[in-house]
């Protein structure tokens, strides 16, 4: 489940950067 959490965080960070 850690992979899903990491992926969600990366997606959020990407959205914030853009």
Residue 17, classed as helix, strand or coil, is helix
Site of tokens 């914030």: 16
Per-residue model confidence as pLDDT tens digits over 1-18: 788 999 999 999 999 987
Q: Is 0.75 topped by the overall pTM?
A: no
pLDDT for 18 equals 78
**pLDDT computed for residue 14 by the predictor:** 95
pLDDT at 17: 87
16 HSE (CA, 13 A, CB side): 6
């Amino acid at each position: 489940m850690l992979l899903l959490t990491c992926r969600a965080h990366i997606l959020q960070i990407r959205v914030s950067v853009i």
